């Protein structure tokens, strides 16, 4: 049991940092503008992340499994640890980083170390998703901006009532965003442990229960919740006041459009529905919520006539696609070498 917890700790650490950093993308502006209190944001985000991870997390996690099916606990531990360390140090250095990109880098590092062929079809699908997700978020931001502007012009809602509705909208869209974050990003935290899942299914007397994978995701989601409660407040205040100076309504548009993008790349139900009708469906891939947020801010900037667009952020996004997986991959390769030769553990 002790060794199991030790091996899962890499993923749990990654989950904690995801909760600390990415929850700010969902509720950051709402908390920083004091539209939603932190306690309320943390509770809503935690519950929604757990629901999303447990009930809709398998789609995006499955894609990571196809990129590299790690078959030993020490191997999975090393991959998640390498990703977590990369995220931690790159964040501290002020570099753009995403857990999705770090874990993919880690898995690629494992593939190379273990001598497995990299599945380039899956890899290209993942890379295309990273490139397309901020663009889709920008399109959503652009469209939602016009819809909101139209509604405000038409409905003549009193400033005070508008603020009240915006608060409610923040909570609902934040819950949706956190649900989508859980569904989309739980694969980063626990995806590599799925092929070697140590948990048996649990069924309660009423017949209701959890599969082994759901229990694994529940554990990962709990670590995300701990990250939200223990560290995200500071990050939320920074994100809300530093990255974008938006009005509450435009901040709501950012939250909603990035939540929609996360949902599109995570929902198996939507994916299957589109495929059944012969419509093009987006691949189920873990994407970066931070980049979705930046994408939607850019979309709003375009809708406002190219205002508030910070082009250096766009360059940083492009840098993140290459630099983060590279750093995590190289680090993973070396860590695997040490774990295998120093601790004599089977990582392949």
Partner 1 sequence: MSRLFKQTAYLVADIDTFLDNISKAGILFGLALKEYLEDEPDRFHTRLDEIAELESDSDDLRREIRHKLYSKMLIPESRGDVLSVLENIDNVIDTTKKIVFQIDIEQPKICESLKKDFQELVTTSQNALDFTVKAARAFFKDSDIINDFVHKVYFYEHEADKIEELIKRKVFSSNDVTELAERMHIRDFATYVATLSDESQAVCERISVAAIKRSL
For partner 1, the binding residues (CB under 8 A) are: 33-35, 145, 148-149, 152-153, 156-161, 163-164, 167-168, 247-250, 304
Shortest Cβ distance from residue 302 to partner 1 (Å)? Answer: 13
In terms of Cα–Cα distance, which of 313, 292, 312, 310 is closest to 302? Answer: 310
Ranges of beta strands (E only) in 142-284 are 202-203, 209-210
CA distance 67 to 107: 7
Residue (92 or 153) nearer to partner 1, CB: 153
Quote the least distance from Cβ 253 to partner 1, whole Å.
Answer: 9
Both tokens of residue 207? 């017949």
Q: Which is nearer to partner 1, 300 or 328 (by Cβ)? A: 300
Q: How far is the CB of 78 from partner 1 (least distance, A)?
A: 46
Closer residue to partner 1 in complex, CB, 7/140: 140
Instruction: Tell me the closest approach of the beta carbon of residue 43 to partner 1, in angstroms.
Output: 15
- Cβ-based nearer residue to partner 1, 127 or 302: 302
Nearest by Cα to 193 from 331, 23, 14? 14
User: By C-beta, is 109 or 141 nearer to partner 1?
Assistant: 141
Which segments of the chain does DSSP mark as H helices, in order?
2-32, 38-56, 58-67, 73-92, 99-114, 120-155, 159-190, 212-238, 248-264, 268-276, 289-303, 311-342
Q: Measured from the CB of residue 113, what is the shortest distance to partner 1 in angstroms? A: 51
Burial of 203 per CB tally in 10 Å (0-12, 13-18, 19+): exposed
If you search the block for the tokens 């759901």, which residue do you land on?
214
């Amino acid at each position: 049991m002790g060794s199991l917890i030790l091996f899962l700790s890499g993923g749990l650490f990654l989950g904690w940092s995801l909760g600390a950093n990415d929850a700010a993308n969902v509720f950051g502006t709402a908390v920083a503008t004091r539209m939603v209190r932190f306690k309320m944001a943390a509770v809503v985000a935690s519950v929604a992340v757990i629901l999303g991870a447990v009930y809709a997390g398998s789609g995006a996690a499955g894609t990571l499994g196809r990129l590299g099916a790690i078959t030993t606990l020490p191997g999975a531990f090393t991959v998640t640890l390498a990703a977590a360390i990369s995220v931690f140090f790159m964040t501290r250095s002020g570099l753009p980083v995403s857990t999705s990109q770090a874990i993919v880098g880690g898995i690629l590092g494992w593939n190379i170390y273990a001598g497995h062929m990299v599945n380039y079809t899956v890899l290209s699908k993942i890379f295309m998703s990273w490139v397309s997700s901020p663009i889709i978020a920008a399109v959503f931001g652009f469209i939602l901006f016009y819809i909101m502007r139209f509604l405000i012009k038409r409905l003549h809602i009193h400033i005070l009532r508008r603020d009240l509705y915006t608060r409610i909208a923040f909570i609902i869209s934040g819950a949706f965003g956190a649900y989508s974050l859980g569904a989309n990003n739980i694969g980063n935290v626990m995806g590599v442990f799925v092929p070697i899942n140590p948990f048996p299914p649990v069924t309660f007397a009423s017949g209701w229960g959890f599969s082994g994978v759901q229990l694994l995701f529940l554990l990962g989601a709990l670590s995300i919740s701990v990250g939200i409660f223990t560290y995200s407040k500071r990050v939320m205040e920074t994100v809300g006041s530093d990255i974008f100076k938006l009005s509450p309504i435009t901040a709501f548009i950012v939250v909603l459009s990035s939540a929609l993008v996360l949902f599109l790349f995570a929902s198996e139900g939507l994916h299957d529905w589109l495929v059944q009708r012969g419509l093009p469906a987006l691949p189920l891939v873990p994407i970066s919520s931070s980049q979705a947020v930046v994408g939607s801010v850019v979309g709003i900037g375009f809708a406002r006539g190219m205002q508030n667009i910070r082009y250096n952020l766009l360059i940083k996004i492009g840098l993140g696609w290459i630099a983060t997986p590279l750093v995590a991959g190289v680090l993973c390769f070396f860590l695997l070498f040490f774990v295998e030769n120093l601790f004599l553990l089977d990582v392949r």
